């Protein structure tokens, strides 16, 4: 396998490389050491990574040619605010970071968001490297150029576009992922499959609700899923990296009703779970509008449920759906731009909010309720049998 | 005069136009109204502008097609911190600003810095328009893409690169400028003249220490100074707008020793005054190194003094100079890159810190002390005569 296959390039705004550490090219520690060189490095991580990978972090730190310091960030969803960013900036300042030095985010999406915004603000932007350790981070949050933190209840209200110098993805981190975090990532992978790749969708359908075993990971199934997901994400981001265009982004599939679901559940429902529910009801809207075959919607809902994710929740009401459409119209400059599947592997946009009448959304919600009740019965029968 | 002459274009990163309201093209209010269109507009200004231009602001607000709100910011140098930015973000959020709406900065450099950083952070960058009302703002801070705020004692430690949608420069604001603020701006104009335009330098030499009278302003002398200064600034910025290159920037002339002078004087010495002193001692360093004729240094020091600016101060010591060079070496990635004049209208760089020995800097400081003492005696004789 050539070295080129270990790197996926993103060529916008100077560009950066996403290095995939798939066991055949250089390892993560070696790549990081080479990328950092003799610079000062502020290594930012999470309590979980600091505990599970203490040895790796210590080895990395001692292998670096220049001075480094480890910062353990609090990374609950409620820690994702501007004060966390300011606190990290103060730590970087005390560490004496210079404008050519580097901050490294080794953790999930909240970690990379806080590090990206902080490194984007210090001296108007100093380098940062992302080492995403969760599935969501590896295929979404950790490999993009957007950094955002919540502000007075508004999700990602403050932030920056700030491309990492490099992203390094090592799927071996996934072996220690808790099952709920794995499933959150699978929701994003299902999103990417729905918008661009029926083959990836079929692969996920076949995986089932549990983490791949270490054997399945090492035989490359997991790496293939990560690789294909990264390719789709980078290709979509490249279309309009700074979101200056029409604000029609296929990557927004599953991200119209989900913010309100997360908020309404007081974050009891995770981001990935909310994205899954959003995709299910969006598929039902597509059916109600005659844009998607009922059987295709059934496959999408079954794939969500099959991955151990909820397809529905009590928080999803006609009022929440209406409120969500009003909010995205404001956010997307007057257009709804709701992403709906038109087949597994292909999506389109409902541009006008007027198309999304109360009748259409009510019909979609009722259809989802019926379909998920049917799935639950099937699940009960399955469990009774096993 | 064609419409093109009222606009100076800056063509980097999408580019933006600096409109010069010189009394012949459309007026400021008309330009602003047209640029804002039907969008929500958060008008951000300073206590001084709100007081002196209350009528203009009220007329502007009522002429706008969309909703607007006026925010009066505190704009002392000590208010230029991240908390001011966060406070403004909260006001914009309460106002319900959308990602295509606009923030307008009507004030001096601190105002445009706070507005630029806030608008750069909200939803990862929403539009802003700059209407600089001070001379420094009109030729420097208000027409660039850099926004910065101080952080734990470090000048402009946090900030963003965020190009305004447009900048609108109306020299008539200068008529109400206090004399010290005018002189601060003249220090920056002398900087621009030193690096690029001996003709502009001669024009400033002829102006003397007071504000141009309203007649001198209306006959275009002042507008010509502003126009030429803007042209030089935009041309220099265009060379490396995001400062990713060698960090050799002619615009840094006068900005190596001045931060420490401002800090050491606890901001009793203003930014413009500190820049003037920095240019004088940098000129003497050039003489000490055999790079500048003594008479040319004399012209630069005399121009500073002639504008009513100090050429020297007690805070300028060998220790402060050494500390400053150490700091810029850190800031400019290992190089001193000290800008020195090699003639009036042409500058060059001292790249290596080693060239700036204690002996050279001591000789320069002693020469400046002698020269400014001579100027003070001449000034005394002049005052006795008049």
A:B CB pairs within 8 Å:
73
Spatial CA neighbour of A11 closest among A197, A235, A230, A229:
A235
Query: With contacts defined as CB-CB under 8 Å, which chain A residues touch B148?
Result: 124
**CA–CA distance, A363 with B373 (Å, rounded to integer):** 87
Q: Is B153 on the interface with A (CB under 8 A)?
A: no
Q: Is A72 on the interface with B (CB under 8 A)?
A: no
Query: With contacts defined as CB-CB under 8 Å, which chain A residues touch B331?
Result: 98-99, 123
Q: Smallest Cβ distance to A93: which of B121, B125, B152? A: B152
Q: Could you give the residue ranges of the DSSP H alpha helices within chain A? A: 28-36, 47-52, 54-63, 82-95, 109-121, 135-139, 179-196, 198-205, 214-218, 221-239, 258-264, 271-288, 294-306, 318-331, 358-385
Query: With contacts defined as CB-CB under 8 Å, which chain A residues touch B154?
Result: 93
Which chain B residue has the Cα nearest residue A13?
B13
The pLDDT score that the predictor gives to residue B77 is 78
Look up residue B130 and give its two tokens: 């700059």
Spatial CA neighbour of A89 closest among B148, B221, B237, B161:
B148
Query: If you search the block for the tokens 């809902």, which residue do you land on?
Result: A301
SS3 category, A134:
coil
Q: Smallest Cβ distance to A99: which of B89, B120, B331? A: B331
Length of chain A: 386
The pLDDT score that the predictor gives to residue B210 is 81
First to last CA, chain B: 42
Q: Do A158 and B333 touch (CB under 8 A)?
A: no
Q: Is B82 on the interface with A (CB under 8 A)?
A: yes
Query: With contacts defined as CB-CB under 8 Å, which chain A residues touch B122?
Result: 157-158
Interface test with B, best of A121, A146, A259, A330 (most B CBs within 10 A): A121
Residue B381 — φ and ψ, nearest 5°? Answer: -60, -40
Which chain B residue has the Cα nearest residue A82?
B86
Measure A357 CA to nearest chain B CA, in Å: 24
Measure B292 CA to nearest chain A CA, in Å: 32
Q: Is A193 on the interface with B (CB under 8 A)?
A: no
Q: Smallest Cβ distance to A331: which of B93, B99, B331? A: B99
Q: Do A89 and B158 touch (CB under 8 A)?
A: yes
Which chain A residue has the Cα nearest residue B99?
A331
Query: With contacts defined as CB-CB under 8 Å, which chain B residues touch A326?
Result: none
pLDDT tens for residues A50-68?
999 999 999 999 999 999 9
Interface test with A, best of B38, B101, B114, B123 (most A CBs within 10 A): B123
Interface test with B, best of A124, A154, A252, A331 (most B CBs within 10 A): A124
Which chain A residue has the Cα nearest residue B241?
A124
Q: Do A124 and B330 touch (CB under 8 A)?
A: no
Query: With contacts defined as CB-CB under 8 Å, which chain A residues touch B82?
Result: 86
Residue B37 — φ and ψ, nearest 5°? Answer: 60, -135
Give the mean model confidence (pLDDT) for residues B150-167.
Answer: 93
Query: If you search the block for the tokens 């969708």, which residue do you land on?
Result: A201
Look up residue B351 and give its two tokens: 């790249």
Q: Is A203 on the interface with B (CB under 8 A)?
A: no
pLDDT tens for residues B25-59?
788 999 999 999 999 999 999 999 999 999 999 99
Q: What is the mean pLDDT of each run of 10 residues along chain A (386 residues)?
A: 58 76 86 96 98 95 96 92 97 95 97 98 97 96 92 92 94 92 96 97 89 74 91 90 83 96 93 97 98 98 95 97 93 89 97 96 98 80 57
Q: Do B124 and A243 touch (CB under 8 A)?
A: yes
Q: Is the pLDDT of residue B154 over 90?
A: no
Give the mean model confidence (pLDDT) for residues B84-106.
Answer: 97
Sheet containing A7-10, strands listed edge to edge, beginning at the edge strand earlier in sequence: A7-10, A16-20, A166-169, A128-132, A102-107, A41-45, A68-72
Q: Do B125 and A89 touch (CB under 8 A)?
A: no
The pLDDT score that the predictor gives to residue A103 is 98
Q: Is A62 on the interface with B (CB under 8 A)?
A: no
Query: With contacts defined as CB-CB under 8 Å, which chain B residues touch A156?
Result: 123
Distances (CA, A) of A193 to A139, A188, A241: 12, 9, 20
**CA–CA distance, A358 with A325 (Å, rounded to integer):** 11
Q: Smallest Cβ distance to B157: which of A93, A330, A333? A: A93
Q: Do B89 and A160 touch (CB under 8 A)?
A: no
Task: For the beta carbon of residue A382, count every other beta carbon within 10 angstroms.
Answer: 9
> In this structure, is the dihedral angle defined by the CA atoms of residues A26, A31, A37 and A40, taken in order, positive or negative?
negative
Q: Do B242 and A125 touch (CB under 8 A)?
A: yes
Q: Is A127 on the interface with B (CB under 8 A)?
A: no
Measure B123 CA to nearest chain A CA, in Å: 5
First to last CA, chain A: 42
pTM over 0.80: yes
The pLDDT score that the predictor gives to residue A332 is 78
The pLDDT score that the predictor gives to residue B1 is 32
Q: Smallest Cβ distance to A124: which of B100, B148, B152? A: B148
The pLDDT score that the predictor gives to residue A357 is 97
SS3 category, A114:
helix
Q: Do B160 and A125 touch (CB under 8 A)?
A: yes
Query: With contacts defined as CB-CB under 8 Å, which chain A residues touch B102?
Result: none
Give the mean model confidence (pLDDT) for residues B322-348.
Answer: 93
Q: Is A86 on the interface with B (CB under 8 A)?
A: yes
**CA–CA distance, A144 with A236 (Å, rounded to integer):** 11
The pLDDT score that the predictor gives to residue A306 is 94
pLDDT tens for residues A309-353?
999 999 999 999 999 999 999 877 789 999 999 999 999 999 999
Query: With contacts defined as CB-CB under 8 Å, which chain A residues touch B242?
Result: 125
CB B350, CB B289: distance < 8 Å: yes
Q: What is the ipTM of this complex?
A: 0.90
- Per-residue confidence at B209, pLDDT binned at 50, 70, 90? confident
The pLDDT score that the predictor gives to residue A3 is 39
The pLDDT score that the predictor gives to residue A386 is 47
Measure A122 CA to nearest chain B CA, in Å: 5
Look up residue A348 and give its two tokens: 């389109």
Q: Do B331 and A158 touch (CB under 8 A)?
A: no
The pLDDT score that the predictor gives to residue B331 is 78
Task: Give me the residues of A, 287-326, that contact B with CB < 8 A.
Answer: none
């Amino acid at each position: 396998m050539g070295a080129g296959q270990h790197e996926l390039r993103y060529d916008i705004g100077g560009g950066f490389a996403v290095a995939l550490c798939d066991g055949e090219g250089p390892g993560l520690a070696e790549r990081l050491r080479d990328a950092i060189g003799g610079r000062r490095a502020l290594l930012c991580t999470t309590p979980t990574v600091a505990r599970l990978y203490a040895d790796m972090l210590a080895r990395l730190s001692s292998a670096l040619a220049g001075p480094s310091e480890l910062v353990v960030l609090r990374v609950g969803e409620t820690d994702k605010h501007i004060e966390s960013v300011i606190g990290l900036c103060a730590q970087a300042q005390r560490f004496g970071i210079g404008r050519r030095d580097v901050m490294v985010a080794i953790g999930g999406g909240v970690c990379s968001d806080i590090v990206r915004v902080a490194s984007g603000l210090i001296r108007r932007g100093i380098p940062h490297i992302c080492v995403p350790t969760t599935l969501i981070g590896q295929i979404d949050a950790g490999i993009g150029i957007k950094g955002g933190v919540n502000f007075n209840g508004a999700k990602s209200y403050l932030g920056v576009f700030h491309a990492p110098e490099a992203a390094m993805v090592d799927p071996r981190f996934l072996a220690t992922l808790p099952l709920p975090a794995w499933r959150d990532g699978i929701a994003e992978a299902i999103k990417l499959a729905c918008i661009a790749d029926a083959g990836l969708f079929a692969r996920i359908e076949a995986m089932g609700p549990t983490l791949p075993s270490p054997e399945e990971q090492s035989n490359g199934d997991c790496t293939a899923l990560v690789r294909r997901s990264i390719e789709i994400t980078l290709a979509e981001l490249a279309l309009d990296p700074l979101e200056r265009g029409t604000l029609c982004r296929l990557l927004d599939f599953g991200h119209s009703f989900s913010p309100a679901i997360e908020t309404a559940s007081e974050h009891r429902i995770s981001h990935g779970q909310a994205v899954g529910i959003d995709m299910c009801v969006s598929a039902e809207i597509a059916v109600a509008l005659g844009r998607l075959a009922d059987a295709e919607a059934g496959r999408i809902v079954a794939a969500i449920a099959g991955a151990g994710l909820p397809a529905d929740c009590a928080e999803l009401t006609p009022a929440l759906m209406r409120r969500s459409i009003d909010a995205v119209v404001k956010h997307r400059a007057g257009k709804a731009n709701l992403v709906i599947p038109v087949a597994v592997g292909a999506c389109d946009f409902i541009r006008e909010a007027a198309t999304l009448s109360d009748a259409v959304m009510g019909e979609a919600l009722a259809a989802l309720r019926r379909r998920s009740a049917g799935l639950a019965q099937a699940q009960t029968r399955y469990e009774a049998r096993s």
